Every structure is written in structure tokens, then in C-alpha cells.
């Protein structure tokens, strides 16, 4: 999870100018948000960045066989 948090903070830092205190607060916020969200580093990084940017996160449902029928 630490790699995902580092990726989020690196990307977010390129988008927003942060003081050291703001960066620390944002890192803690992302860490709390991502706790117990799994171990897929890419998905964690995307969700963490969306969280910091204020975008709503969506839960994806599994596709069923009926979804594939045209």
C-alpha cells in the first residue's frame, strides 16, 4: 500500500502546490482512506488520487452473463 500512497502523493504534488504540512495531512488522509481496500497497487493509487481530488468513487459490479447478451 505504501507504493500506492507514494504514487498518489507524487501525482497530486504535480497538480497542486502543497506546503509540507498540507502534504503530511493529505498523506494521512489517503492512508486512512485506503486502509482495508485491498492490495492492487494500481487500483489503490487511482482511488486515492480520486479521493484527494474530491471525485466520487464508484463500486463496480461484476458482469453477469446476461450483460453480454445483445
Domain ranges of the chain: 2-57
* Chain position carrying cell 468513487: 57
The reported pTM is: 0.74
Question: CA 49 from chain center: how many Å?
Answer: 4
> Taking Cα atoms as reference points, which of 52, 39, 43, 41 lies closest to residue 11?
52
List Cα–Cα distances, 21 to 24, 27, 39, 57, in angstroms: 5, 10, 27, 26
* pLDDT per position as a tens digit, 32-45: 999 989 989 999 99
Per-residue pLDDT of the chain (70 residues; tens, 9 = 90+): 999 999 999 999 999 999 999 999 999 999 999 998 998 999 999 999 999 999 865 555 554 445 444 4
Amino acid at each position: 500500500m505504501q507504493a500506492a500512497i507514494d504514487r498518489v502523493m507524487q501525482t497530486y504534488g504535480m497538480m497542486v502546490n502543497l506546503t509540507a504540512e498540507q502534504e503530511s495531512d493529505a498523506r494521512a488522509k489517503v492512508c486512512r482512506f485506503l486502509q482495508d481496500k485491498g492490495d492492487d497497487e494500481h487500483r489503490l493509487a487511482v482511488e486515492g488520487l480520486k479521493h484527494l481530488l474530491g471525485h466520487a468513487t464508484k463500486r463496480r459490479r461484476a458482469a453477469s452473463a446476461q450483460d453480454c447478451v445483445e
